[in-house]
Amino acid sequence: MIGVLKSLATTMEHALKGETFTVEYPDVPPEVSPRFRGVHKFSQERCIWCRQCENVCPNDTIQIVTNEQRQGEQYNLHVGQCVYCRLCEEVCPVDAIILTQNFEFTGDTKDDLVYNMEQLKSVPWYNELDPLEAREPDRGSWVGEGEDEVDYQ
Ligand code: SF4
Ligand code: SF4
């Protein structure tokens, strides 16, 4: 009983000070931590198809399809399986994968969240993401084009 009263007193103390820790989502978007790991974006333009992300992924979220010349043809994403460990981003030698801060996507089953590259282009929550706004990656290790030319798909 004393514990309950203490809890109520703490709650009242914060309420009277106007301190709240919840937001009225979705009207008010929550501020997520800079280290938050949301759905990742993939740059087909930047990718060198080394398949390291595919190999390091613990649960086959990423599937890289290459042709006989080992040139990249397809990038498949099983979003519903991802555990957001960020290993794919860390292992990528050219920062072709960035975990963004987006968490707003839904599906009834994991199968609803399986996409290939073409399908991803028409998924609003994926298409509208700007990974460069979502997080500041280590651009020092990037190769190739200028910032404006990077084609995140
Ligand atoms: S964050 Fe982890 S689980 Fe998700 S795709 Fe990358 S390696 Fe796989
Ligand atoms: S690790 Fe990076 S460069 Fe290699 S296949 Fe994956 S996204 Fe492409």
pLDDT at 8: 92
pLDDT of residue 141: 44
The predicted pLDDT at position 37 comes to 85
Sign of dihedral through CA atoms 78, 84, 89, 95? positive
Is the domain covering 33-149 a CATH 3.20.20.70 domain? Answer: no
123-147: pLDDT as tens digits: 766 666 655 554 555 554 444 444 5
Q: Nearest-CA neighbor of 47 among 20, 31, 65, 34?
A: 65
Global model pTM greater than 0.95 = no
Distance CA 30, CA 33 (A): 10
Cα-to-centroid distance, 107 and ligand 1 (Å): 18
Residues with beta carbon inside 6 Å of ligand 2?
A: 47-53, 64, 91-92, 94, 96-97
Q: Running DSSP on this structure, what letter comes out for residue 139? A: G
* Distance from the alpha carbon of residue 57 to the mean position of ligand 1, in angstroms: 5
CB of 77 within 6 A of ligand 1: the answer is no
**What are the domain boundaries of the chain?**
33-149
Q: Which residue has the higher pLDDT, 55 or 34?
A: 55
Coarse DSSP helix, strand, coil percentages of the chain, rounded to the nearest 5 percent: 35, 15, 55
Closest protein CA for atom 8 of ligand 1? 57
CA of 22 to the centre of ligand 1 (A): 29
